[in-house]
Amino acid sequence: MDCTLYLADNCNLECTYCYEGHQKGMDRISKTTVEKAIDFLEQINTDREIDLTFLGGEPMLNKEMMYYAVEYSKKKLVKFNYIITTNGTCCDKKDIDYMHENGFKVSLSIDGDRRTHELNRKIKGKDDAGKTYDIIIENLKYMVKNSFPVIIRMTVTCNNVQYLYSNVLYFYNMGVTKLDIEFNEFEEWKIHSLQLLEHELQKLDFWYLSNGDKIKYLSLFDGKITFFIAKRKVQFCNAGRKSHFVINSKGEFYPCNYVCNQEQWKIGNLKTVFDEKKCFNNIKLHIEKQSKCTECEINFACVGARCGFKNFNLTGFLNKPNDNLCNLEKILYKHNELVFAEMYRRKDARLMNLLEYALVKGYPLTNWMIELMEQEKEC
């Protein structure tokens, strides 16, 4: 099972694209709530391990509770795995060492080089980024130097998309081997911005084919490749069940971080019950009868057909992505298709190993994969 625990609602940055908005609360989780949350997770857990993600706001604004949660959870019989998403401005070497010692997966939010960072990631209440970039880079270099498997979390926006390729190389040349790149679907992507994205992806296509074996994870490709190989049911994640949910800093339950602190999606708290039925009844009220995703030919690989609560924030319906998301996913699909087909022709180990695994396990292949294999046989 996995659970996200909010350590602090507030953030010291005010990123222009933050899906949580700029009117964040000031609540911070207490020791008592941490204890009750971890006790509750142990009580309801049916798996061998629990993935516990620390989030905010900026979770390291309340770093003491991060330490406390880890030490308290170590006393439990079940194994906890720790994950944190942080902007890196409140961390020091002691924090990083502690995370490393305890096997944390760290997602570090930074969009690129100084020029890119300072476009959208401002200090709260100010018009500039101050010295935040220098702090983050110092921490990142320390992580890389000490072989900490950090993941860079980049957000691509209309005003920084032209730097996408150069920023991937910027981090790669720094020694980073994992990059999670997300598009900001909450802004309007006009034709010019989409054309810039096309141009950047063309450069990334070639680079990934030539250098992808040297990088462990580039989400634009590695996060999509399995969807092209093995057929699976197109459905939303299990957010809102006891195997996947959020506990906010007040000890309240929500199905997903995209709707955390939205009153209509509250499904109980640590003092009462976890109300799955309320969640599913509310989901039914926010499903459009006819979804364009159903007949879409790329739905098997599209986030819009799987991330319901992101869709809800975009359109008010869980099964209705907005036009921005659709346009971005269609462009990415085209590049994925080209890259993965070329990887198959080259018998690239990254794709062939996954394909072999699917065949050995007896997983059905996607129509796309079957057609590609047949085409190559004919050649």
pLDDT at 128: 76
Contact between 228 and 355 under an 8 Å Cβ cutoff? The reply is no
Q: What is the pLDDT of residue 23?
A: 67
The pLDDT of residue 136 is above 70: yes
Q: What percent of the chain clears pLDDT 90, i.e. is strictly above it?
A: 86
Q: Are 151 and 179 in contact (CB under 8 A)?
A: yes
Residue 335 banded pLDDT, cuts 50, 70, 90: very high
Q: Could you give the percent of the chain with pLDDT greater than 70? A: 99
Q: If phi over 0 gives left and psi between -120 and 50 gives alpha, with beta otherwise, what is residue 19?
A: alpha
Q: Is the pLDDT of residue 41 over 80?
A: yes
Question: Which pLDDT tens digit goes with each residue over 282-298?
Answer: 999 999 988 889 889 99
DSSP 218-229: EHHHHTTHHHHH
DSSP string, 181-208: EEE-TTS---HHHHHHHHHHHHHHHHHH
Task: State the amino acid at position 70 in one-letter form.
Answer: V
pLDDT score of 225 more than 80: yes
Q: Count other C-beta atoms under 10 Å from residue 85's C-beta.
A: 20
Q: Which residue, among 22, 16, 20, has the nearest Cα to 6 in the 3D structure?
A: 20
**Residue labelled with tokens 């300072």:** 118
Q: What is the pLDDT of residue 46?
A: 86
Structural contact between residues 153 and 182, judged by C-beta atoms closer than 8 angstroms: yes
d(CA 80, CA 339): 37
Q: What is the pLDDT of residue 60?
A: 97
Instruction: Give the orientation angle of helix 323-345 with respect to helix 308-315, to 10 degrees.
Output: 140
Could you give the C-alpha distances from 274 to 3, 47, 238, in angstroms and in order? 13, 18, 15
Taking CA atoms, 348 is separated from 198, 337, 344, 365, 376, in Å, by: 24, 14, 6, 18, 14
pLDDT band at 82 (very low <50, low <70, confident <90, very high): very high
What is the reported pLDDT for 209?
96
Q: How confident is the model at residue 61 (pLDDT cuts 50, 70, 90)?
A: very high
Most confident of 66-70, 125-129, 209-213, 229-233: 66-70
Q: Does the pLDDT at position 21 exceed 80?
A: no
pLDDT level of residue 100 (50, 70, 90 thresholds): very high
Any idea what DSSP says for residue 158?
T
pLDDT at 140 over 90: yes
- 321 within 8 A of 293, measured Cβ to Cβ: yes
Q: Is the dihedral of CA 302, 307, 309, 313 positive or negative?
A: negative
Count Cβ neighbours within 10 Å for each residue of 151-186 and write b for 16 or more, e otherwise.
Answer: bbbbbbbbebbebbbebbebbbeeebbbbbbbbbbe
The average pLDDT across 226-248 equals 93
- Averaged pLDDT score across all residues of the chain: 94
What pLDDT is recorded for position 227?
96
CA dist., res. 59 & res. 26, Å (int) = 12
Least confident of 116-125, 265-274, 296-305: 116-125
Selected residue with higher pLDDT from 18 and 268: 268
Beta pairing class for 13-15 and 217-218: unpaired
CA angle 143, 147, 153 (to 5 degrees): 50
The mean pLDDT of 320-328, rounded to a whole number, is 96
- pLDDT at site 22: 67
Q: Is the pLDDT of residue 250 over 90?
A: yes
Give the model's pLDDT for residue 238: 87
Structure tokens at 301: 């690989």
| 222, pLDDT greater than 70 | yes
**Which long-range contacts (C-beta less than 8 Å, at least 24 apart) are formed by 287-296?**
287/317, 287/318, 287/319, 288/317, 288/319, 288/320, 291/317, 291/319, 291/320, 292/320, 292/326, 293/234, 293/319, 293/320, 293/321
Number of residues assigned to the chain: 379
Distance CA 34, CA 363 (A): 41
> What six digits make up the tokens of 240?
């809102």
